[in-house]
Each structure stands twice: as C-alpha cells, then as structure tokens.
Amino acid sequence: MGTIRVGIDVGGTFTDFTVLDDETGAMRHFKVSSTPHDPSEAIETGIASFPERGLSAADVVHFGHGTTVATNMVIERRGGRTGLLTTEGFRDVLEIGRQTRPDLFDMSVRKPDPLVARALRLEVTERLGPDGAVILPLDEDGVATAARRFRQEEVEAIAIGFLHAYRNPAHEQRAAAIIREFLPDVFISLSSDVLPEFREYERISTTVMNAYLMPRMDGYLDRFMKRSRKTGVEAKPYTIHSNGGLMSTETARNYPVRTCLSGPAAGVVGAALVGKAAAFPDIITYDVGGTSTDVALIAGGKPAYSADRDVAGYSIRCPMVDVSVIGAGGGSIAWLDDAGGLKVGPQSAAAVPGPAAYGKGGTEATITDANIVLQRLNPVALLDGAMPVDREAALKAVSAVAEKIGRSVEDTAWGIIRIAVANMARAIRAVSMDKGHDLKQFALMAFGGAGPLHAALVAAETGLETVIIPESPGTMCARGVLLSDVTRDFVSTQIKRAEGESWEEITSAVAALEEQASAWLEAETIPDDKRALQHIVEARYAGQNHEIRVEGVLTTAQDFAARFAEAHKVVYGYALDDHPVEIVNLRVQAIGHAGRPLQTVASATGSIAAAKVGEREVYVGPERGWLTLPVYKRALMPQGEAFSGPAIIEELTSTAYVLPDQEGVVDAYGNIILKFVKGRA
C-alpha cells in the first residue's frame, strides 16, 4: 500500500515538488523548470522523474497542487468569451462598481475594461425584494431571447446575477435551466452559488470572473488529470484555494475564482505551521519567486484573512489569506524611467526568456543577474550544480544598464538589489505597521527561491531582528500544499441584530450551514476523525458600513457581543458600550484535516567547520567592496552549533546571504535562525 504524499507548487519560473513518506516521516524536495504554455507539462515531467529519485507514482496516496493559472489568465486576459444576464436596469453595475479610483491623484491610471463587453451584458425582467420575496416574476421568454443572443455571439461562459438572489436563488436557477436548453455545453455561473452574499457589485463581479475563468481552467484541469494519470498517479488530486485549504478538482472546475491566490496561500499555510512548531507564532512571510514577492502577516499562529481582493484591477470577494503581492522577483527586469532613474520590476523575464545568466534567450538585466555579478549567487551553477549559469552574460546585461547611468558594474548591480529590497520592505510595512502591528514582535520567514538571498537585507531595512529560513525554502509553497487541510466555506447573509428573536433565526441559519458543511465532508469521503467545523461571523455595529471577522461557536447573544467588542478593539482600537451589533454574514468552514503533523529532522553529523565547502569573493557593498566569504553547504550544517556572518549558505532550492552583523543556528526542525548581534558590524 502506498504511503507517499505529494505537494506541488506551479510557479512562473520553477515547479516545486515536496514528497513526504507517511510511514517514515522522510521528506524530500526538488524542482523542474515551469512550462508557461501548459503548466501541467512540468507537473508530468516532475512525476515522470520519480523512478530515478527512488519513488513510485503508484505509491501516491495524497496529491495536491497550487497554481497561478487563474491569476495569470486574468492578468493576460486569456479567459473565455463571457456573457452576463442580470436584472433589468443593472447591466452597468459591473462597470460602475464602487466609483473609486485606483489612484486618487494619478489621472493617467484607468480601470481595466470589464471582463464582459457591454454588448454581452443582457437584461431580463424579474425582481426579488431584499427578503427574497418575488416582486416581479421571471420573464422566461426574455431569458430564451437572451440565450439565443448568447448563442449567436458564441459565448463560452455565462454569468447570471440577479438582484437579491442571495436570498432566493429560484430565478437564477430557472434562468440557467432555460439557457441550458439552447446552450447545453456552455459554462454557467450563478451568483447565488458562487457568492450568496449581499452587495451587488462584488457579487456580480466575482461571478463574472468565475465564469470568465471556467472554460480555460476546465481545459487546464483536464490536462492536469490526464498527465497525472499517465504517469501512474491514482490518488484523488486536490487544488489549494485562496483561503489556504484544499479543494477537489471538481470544485476547482466549478469555482476557479477561488484559486486566484492559490500558490501564495499555500506558502502562508506552510509558514504558519513551521513557525508555530519552531516557537515563532508571530511571523511575516516573505516569499520571493521568479516574478513576484508575496508577503503576509501571521499573528498567534493564524494568518490574516481578507474577504475582498483586487485581482489585476477586478474586484472579487471570497475568503482568502491576506497576501500582499508586488512585482519584484528574481526575474524582475532593471530599466530606466523617462527621467533616467533606475527602476526594478514589475516586468519580469519569467522562465522564458529568463535572466540573461540562464542562457535561455534573456538579454535584459534582472535581480538574479545582479546577484550573480556580485557573486552572492553561485557564478558557475545553481541547483547543486544541475543548472549552469553564464556570469559573462549577466555582466553584459548589467553593464548595459551601468553605461546608461554612468556607474560601475558593481555599483549598478548593488543598486538594482537595493531598489528591490526597498520595494520589498514597503510591502512588509504595508501588512504590519500600516495595520497597527509592532514589527519588533515579529520574525521574518524567508522562502521561495530568492527569499533567503535578500532576507537579511530586508530585515535590516525594516528593523526586524530575527530571520527564519525554513528547510528547503525554495519549495515552501509545495510543502504548504502538502500540509494544508481540505476546506470549503458555506455562507449565509443575515443582516440581523444579535439580540432577541433575531438571535433564534441566526442560530437556526448556523445549524443549516452546519448541515451543508457536514454533507460536503461526507461527499468528499473525509474520515470522521479528520472532520471539523469552524464558525466565523462577519458583523458590525449598527450604522457601520463594513464588518469584521469574529471566530468561534455562537452560544449566547451576550457572549457574542463581548467577543465582537474585543475583535473591534483589535481592528479599530475601540468598542462601543450598549450599541447594537448587527450580524451580516454567517460562515461555517468544513475542514478535513491533513495527515501527520510537522516532524523534527535528523541533524547533520560533524561541525560547522566541516560544513564549509569553499570560499568566494562577494561584493558586500560600496563601503567594504569585495570580501572573501565562507560558503557553507546547508545539508552539512549541524543543529545547535552557532555560526557568524558574513557568509553564503547554498542548498538545492535556494541560496542565503548572511550579513556581517548576524549570527545563526540550525534548530531541530532544520530551520536556520538568524539574529542581528548588536555591536558587531
């Protein structure tokens, strides 16, 4: 019987694999180059390499993956041709939105065009009241007319969003049935199914994006399934969604909008579990890949969550890990603005053509090229020698920028890195200090292929005193997929005071959600001992416009009011005595717990001195210039023995740069813990 659990993260440059043997607890990590034209191809390549790694695809009992396919489709506008059917008079809700500008003072910024052209936004006579009662019956002939128009326009997907459908889905369901008679193969998304919550713009926008993604996501998941089966994997595949949980492939087909933060969410989940095990419950995750940097805040072992999100300029609403993403990764390109100022990103060389040093056709200077020029990255080969690099090509690319700004090659490469670090530091402050958190209470957990390379610099820039570099940081997102639970959220909009008779209606609604959640866990064949339900209430003081999350089972109205007051203090710094509390949304999250918990790892034998595998000239900055630094092989570094910077630490998936005023130690979980030492420089 198989015992292998596999987690996969599909990134822009590399596709990462983490493989766990449930029987022995042994974990291994590896990477293959991503295939942007078809991400499932890289997955097949990785699984096909199992035999040469001493693994068998037939032994896989758990198979999950995180992907940026949905996000990239929206960014690149590669979704299906989509139509919208909505209540008469509301076709322009999608375009009107909330009447907020992306940038208040930048008149050149404009919102992206709607995912559905106005000619394909059709109206039909029907009307429900805010309580779900029928005011105007559905004009079925009008729906049929709209269906014929959609067929004529050859749409691939249709979003149906009627006013107040979150209270009563009957009209949307009937409209879908009529459309199916004319377009049996079209993809259909109902707002009452995708997002049964009030606020018309967010509900319709989210439903439209879901429909827009369905045709292409369905094709990708088909290829993903066929390729995994072709390699011999029989386990049921899962996809991680934006709230950090796993969902079945079938659910991902129906709700692709929930995968928009798939990859980054997996990294945050993995980081939270690793941090908690290592006695660092308060961390800021710092995930630097080939195209972007993702940062998130974890307090008390729990990631921060957000319900609303902007994806490439489009509003979506669904529970998701609150990740801030900026365009700064190893492949980010250095360029000059109109005034001749040096900029870095958000444009990226990605996997193809890639950084100049990778020899895949890239010619523009990137952050990776700058690090190779300064020899912070190995100037000969990466991935334990498996991936040769061309330092001369990197020098040529950076030299081209240096000539334009009239600086030396070293100064230019150093400047590229410093600009990138400043951008990354701003993102970290945005998720912490800007939201009232004291940075000194947090540690920085650096992962992704380029995270450890810049983590010490970012920590110094932001004042963070501790840096954690987890085991195999370049595959943390894949590890997070492996450690994630299977989850799904069930929601009911109430908008009722948390008092009196309304409280009975609220508790009844919770019971109904619990039934739905339990039925879903049964359908997903989750064992009874692995099941759990989490209760979340989104509430506000009467008169407020936005709500906050309160977790925990509802007992009495008085108990909930007290817990809401505490949550309100955390978010806003105050609470109101004797002011009525209004419950907006009730959520019950169904959870199927993952396999074995995080395990300690065996320590390397020998000493830190024995882990030193060489020395390298490294440019550390304009003040010190080039210094000879020790190069350590991470796999040989024993637990518990301290070491000092400056130093380079190399491993298969990443390279770490340790500053002169840092000391480090490897802990029982294989994490490298770096701390700044006062008085050293």
> Residue 319 has what pLDDT?
79
Q: Are residues 84 and 150 in the same domain?
A: yes
Residue 452's pLDDT band (boundaries 50, 70, 90)?
A: very high
pLDDT given at position 572: 84
Helix axes 69-76, 200-230, angle to 10 degrees: 120
- Note the pLDDT of residue 331: 84
Average pLDDT, integer, range 424-446: 89
DSSP letter for 366, please.
B
Reading phi first (left if > 0) and then psi (alpha if -120 to 50, else beta), residue 77 is in left
Q: Note whether 588 and 625 are same-domain residues.
A: no
Provide the residue range defining the domain that includes 189: 77-218
Q: Which residues is 675 bridged to in the sheet?
A: 466, 663
Same domain, 641 and 533: no
In this structure, which amino acid lies at residue 251?
T
Residue pair 346/327 in contact by the 8 Å Cβ criterion: yes
457 in a structural domain: no
Q: Report the pLDDT value the prediction gives residue 192, as an integer from 0 to 100.
A: 93
Q: 89 and 146 in one domain? A: yes
Mean pLDDT confidence for 400-420: 94
Least Cα distance to 680 among 664, 659, 665 occurs for 659
- The answer to whether 376 and 655 have CB atoms below 8 angstroms apart is yes
Tell me the average pLDDT across 239-256: 87
The answer to pTM > 0.85 is: no
Last residue of a domain, one of 192, 218, 244: 218
- Vertex 641: Cα angle to 636 and 642 (nearest 5): 110
Say if 171 falls within a structural domain.
yes
Q: What is the pLDDT of residue 680?
A: 44
On the question of pLDDT at 288 being above 50, the answer is yes
Element spanning 612, H or E: strand 612-619
d(CA 71, CA 211): 14
pLDDT at 528 over 80: yes
N residues, the chain: 681
pLDDT for the residue numbered 595: 61
Average pLDDT over residues 300-321: 82
Nearest to 660 by CA among 650, 645, 670: 645
Percent of the chain with pLDDT over 90: 49
Q: Which of 4-13, 409-418, 494-503 shows the lowest per-residue confidence on average (mean pLDDT)?
A: 4-13
Residue 496 pLDDT greater than 80, yes or no: yes
Q: Is residue 214 part of a domain?
A: yes
Among 252-266, 316-330, 422-436, 447-461, the range with the most confident prediction by mean pLDDT is 447-461
Average pLDDT over every residue of 469-481: 87
Distance from C-alpha of 447 to C-alpha of 454, rounded to nearest angstrom: 10
User: What's the confidence (pLDDT) of residue 681?
Assistant: 45
30-56: pLDDT as tens digits? 888 888 788 889 999 999 999 988 888
pLDDT score of 164: 93
**153 & 182 share domain:** yes
Co-location of 100 and 169 in the same domain: yes
* pLDDT of residue 679 exceeding 70: no
pLDDT of residue 2: 60
Residue 292 lies in a domain: no
Closest CA to 53 of 32, 23, 24, 35: 32
**Whether the predicted pLDDT of 147 surpasses 50:** yes
Query: 570 with 631, same domain?
Result: no
pLDDT at 677: 87
- Residue 604 has what pLDDT? 86
Model confidence pLDDT, tens digit, residues 532-588? 999 999 999 998 888 888 999 998 999 999 999 999 988 888 999 889 999 999 999
Residue that wins the pLDDT comparison between 617 and 64: 617
Which has the higher per-residue pLDDT, 395 or 73? 395
Residues 580 and 521 in one domain: yes
Does pLDDT of 674 surpass 80? yes
Domain shared by 616 and 572, yes or no: no
- The pLDDT, as a whole number, for residue 597 is 65
Share the mean pLDDT of the chain: 89
For 678, other C-beta atoms within 10 Å of its C-beta total 8
| Residue 596 binned pLDDT confidence (cut-offs 50, 70, 90) | low
**Does residue 112 lie in a domain region?**
yes
Domain boundary among 218, 253, 277: 218
Confidence band for 420, pLDDT divided at 50, 70 and 90: very high
Band the pLDDT of 524: cuts 50, 70, 90.
Answer: confident
In a domain, 286, yes or no: no
Show Cβ contacts of residue 157 under 8 Å, excluding neighbours closer than 6 positions.
79, 80, 81, 82, 83, 186, 187, 188, 189, 211, 212, 214, 215
Which residue, among 586, 513, 577, has the nearest Cα to 549 in the 3D structure?
586
Question: Is residue 23 in some structural domain?
Answer: no
111 and 160, same domain (yes or no): yes
Residue 631 lies in a domain: yes
Residues 118 and 204 occupy one common structural domain: yes
Q: Do residue 570 and residue 630 come from a single domain?
A: no
What is d(CA 678, CA 433) in angstroms, rounded to the nearest whole number?
23
Angle, vertex CA 102, rays to CA 96 and CA 106, nearest 5? 120
Taking residues 446-471, report their average pLDDT: 93
Q: Which of 196, 218, 240 is the last residue of a domain?
A: 218
Q: Which residue has the higher pLDDT, 350 or 488?
A: 488
The region of weakest confidence among 177-186, 242-251, 347-356, 648-657 is 347-356
Question: What total of structural domains would you count in the chain?
Answer: 3
Nearest to 140 by CA among 185, 109, 171: 171
Reported as a single tens digit per residue, the pLDDT across 367-383 is 999 999 999 999 988 87
